[in-house]
A and B are shown apart, each in its own frame.
Chain A
Amino acid sequence: MMAKYLLLKHYRGGPTPVNDVPMEAWTEEEIAAHMRYMHEFAARLEGTGEFVDGQALSLEGTFVRYDGEGRPPVTDGPFAETKDLIAGWFVIDVDSYDRAVELAGELSAAPGAGGKPIHEWLEVRPFLTAPPIVTE
């Protein structure tokens, strides 16, 4: 039955992608082709009834933590050399784990430098669900 998965795009932290050229070194046309591929991927998911959410995150963020009663939260960063940077995600609702992996594979084929697939590593994480009613 349907299950939701997060397809998480890390910019750093995972294994090094095959086509590992930073985006600022691409041509404008290559960047446009990459963006077009992402939009088409989202549109295709909407068409198949598997799309739940897709978001891109600002590359710079702030770390925040509680600092005790009556004190404002402590903030830190942004850090230039964050080890693992989350760039964005898709949330999909699919019939099987295999389908989630298949879609992640498609997303990872987005074109990069030289118009060739970037072979980017994506992390596939299942959502926790509500408990089933019949368990015995």
Chain B
Amino acid sequence: VTSVEEHRLRALTPSVIGVLVRRGADFAAAEDAVQDALVEAVRLWATEPPRDPKGWLVTVAWRKFLDASRADASRRRREELAEEQPAPGPGASVDDTLQLYFLCAHPSLTPASAVALTLRAVGGLSTRQIAQAYLVPEATMAQRISRAKKTVSDVRFDQPGDVATVLRVLYLVFNEGYSGDLDLAAEAIRLTRQLAAVIDHEEVAGLLALMLLHHARRSARTRADGSLVPLAQQDRNLWDTRLIAEGVEVLQTVLARDRIGEFQAQAAIAALHADARTAEETDWVQIVGWYDELVRLTDSPVVRLNRAVAVGEADGPRAGLAAVAKLDPTLPRHAAVAAYLHERDGDVAIAARLYAEAARQASNIQERDHLTRQAARLNDGRRG
């Protein structure tokens, strides 16, 4: 089974779970049965692809479900339910898929549980794949998923959910940046595309555009040795123009509706960067405008810090430093931003000290190494 076929197969996961739930299976058992059916599909479809993949999965998953519940005391009740269930109507598959997104991102779940459950029940990934992606033992991830299923076991499947919670989960999957064999960023894009296909919502489009525009920079973002390349120094020829074009189109369409949300605003900033052929051509004034919008929408101190960087570019480092001075110095990356602005302002000694301080506080390896190198570069320059 090639990766394209695997994606097509996994894309059927939520609607097949939906069919089983409609036939009377509870969500946890339905989800297990569909996982088992997916494993069998991967094994058998390479030589014998079925004419109706979804029908095949439903049949096999339902059989797995009945096998599993045969030992169960409630078996008879389930089989009776199965007899009574009418065939799903034409809209059912779309609705089921959407309901599964809502269920897996239910507010009663912690973010980590919602992420794990979404990747399994909506993404069709195996527990082992998810465990490897998040660098925990498979048994730990299995427990996390099983507890998450218990947490939502009383939630009615047809209960309307909140798109915002789903988007937060998908954003986390995209942004975590962990990597193994599984490409989480690509998986997040696939799941967001699939969501966009079943619900018409401005922020879903906004998040999709945001992901596409950032994913477009992937090859330029790191050097061969894994070190980070800052946006201003990236080789823009390496940016994926096809992804940028798609992201910009999705964004422009949704911005025209004039119902701004934070993901659209973030995507707009990414689009302005994508639009600049060189770092010098960046339209920082417009970017500051979008940050003002983002501050209004989120009131987040992290956004204010990023805004200060943009102000530094648009109105000069002194203006940026003035904006930074108003912010809580314990904010993550506060020292890193101040270091950059002081360097631009020509104050190399302070910048070197702040870069070193920022490196000590960094929460990820690449950023720590990048900041350490900045400090070393400035100290070296001062000695020379």
Residues of A within 8 A of B (CB): 1-2, 4, 46-53, 93, 95, 126, 128-136
In the assembled complex, the Cα of A48 lies from the Cα of B177 at a distance in Å of 24
Closest A residue to B185 by CB, please name it: A133
Contact B144 A49 (CB under 8 A): yes
CB distance from A133 to the nearest CB of B (A): 5
Closest A residue to B116 by CB, please name it: A49
Q: How many residues of B contact A (CB 8 A)?
A: 44
Which residues in B have their C-beta under 8 angstroms from that of A2?
111-112, 134
Contact A51 B137 (CB under 8 A): yes
Contact with A along B130-161 (1 / 0, CB 8 A): 00001111011111110100000000000000
Contact A131 B112 (CB under 8 A): no
Contact residues of B: prevailing secondary structure: helix
Contact B364 A52 (CB under 8 A): no
In the assembled complex, the Cα of A52 lies from the Cα of B135 at a distance in Å of 8
Closest A residue to B141 by CB, please name it: A49
CB distance from B238 to the nearest CB of A (A): 15
Closest A residue to B287 by CB, please name it: A136
Interface residue B203 (Cβ < 8 Å from any Cβ of A): no
Contact A95 B363 (CB under 8 A): no
Contact B368 A128 (CB under 8 A): yes
CB distance from B232 to the nearest CB of A (A): 11
In the assembled complex, the Cα of A50 lies from the Cα of B134 at a distance in Å of 12
A-B CB contact pairs (8 Å), 13 listed:
A1-B115, A1-B172, A49-B145, A51-B136, A52-B136, A52-B137, A52-B140, A129-B364, A130-B179, A130-B366, A133-B177, A133-B185, A136-B309
In the assembled complex, the Cα of A126 lies from the Cα of B363 at a distance in Å of 8
Interface stretch among B1-9, B31-39, B266-274? B266-274
Contact with A along B173-189 (1 / 0, CB 8 A): 01111110000010000
Q: A46-B143, A93-B140 are in contact. Are A131 and B366 (CB under 8 A)?
A: yes
In the assembled complex, the Cα of A93 lies from the Cα of B174 at a distance in Å of 19
In the assembled complex, the Cα of A93 lies from the Cα of B143 at a distance in Å of 13
Contact with A along B227-239 (1 / 0, CB 8 A): 0100100000000
Contact B143 A131 (CB under 8 A): no
Closest B residue to A93 by CB, please name it: B136
Contact A131 B178 (CB under 8 A): no
Contact B306 A136 (CB under 8 A): yes
Which residues in B have their C-beta under 8 angstroms from that of A129?
177-178, 363-365
In the assembled complex, the Cα of A47 lies from the Cα of B143 at a distance in Å of 6
Contact A51 B363 (CB under 8 A): no
Contact for B364 among A51, A130, A134, CB less than 8 A: A130
In the assembled complex, the Cα of A95 lies from the Cα of B172 at a distance in Å of 13
Contact B273 A128 (CB under 8 A): no
In the assembled complex, the Cα of A128 lies from the Cα of B332 at a distance in Å of 14
Contact for B140 among A50, A128, A133, A135, CB less than 8 A: A50
Contact B364 A131 (CB under 8 A): yes
CB distance from B274 to the nearest CB of A (A): 12
Interface residue B110 (Cβ < 8 Å from any Cβ of A): yes
Closest A residue to B333 by CB, please name it: A135
In the assembled complex, the Cα of A90 lies from the Cα of B175 at a distance in Å of 27
Contact A128 B147 (CB under 8 A): no
Contact B140 A132 (CB under 8 A): no
In the assembled complex, the Cα of A79 lies from the Cα of B289 at a distance in Å of 63
Contact B365 A130 (CB under 8 A): yes
Contact B143 A133 (CB under 8 A): no
Interface residue B210 (Cβ < 8 Å from any Cβ of A): yes
CB distance from A24 to the nearest CB of B (A): 33
In the assembled complex, the Cα of A53 lies from the Cα of B139 at a distance in Å of 11
Contact A4 B135 (CB under 8 A): yes
Contact A132 B176 (CB under 8 A): yes
Which residues in A have their C-beta under 8 angstroms from that of B64?
none
Contact A131 B135 (CB under 8 A): no
Chain B positions 252-273 with a Cβ under 8 Å from a chain A Cβ = 266, 269-270, 273
Closest A residue to B269 by CB, please name it: A136
Which residues in A have their C-beta under 8 angstroms from that of B210?
134
Interface residue B202 (Cβ < 8 Å from any Cβ of A): no
Contact A131 B367 (CB under 8 A): yes
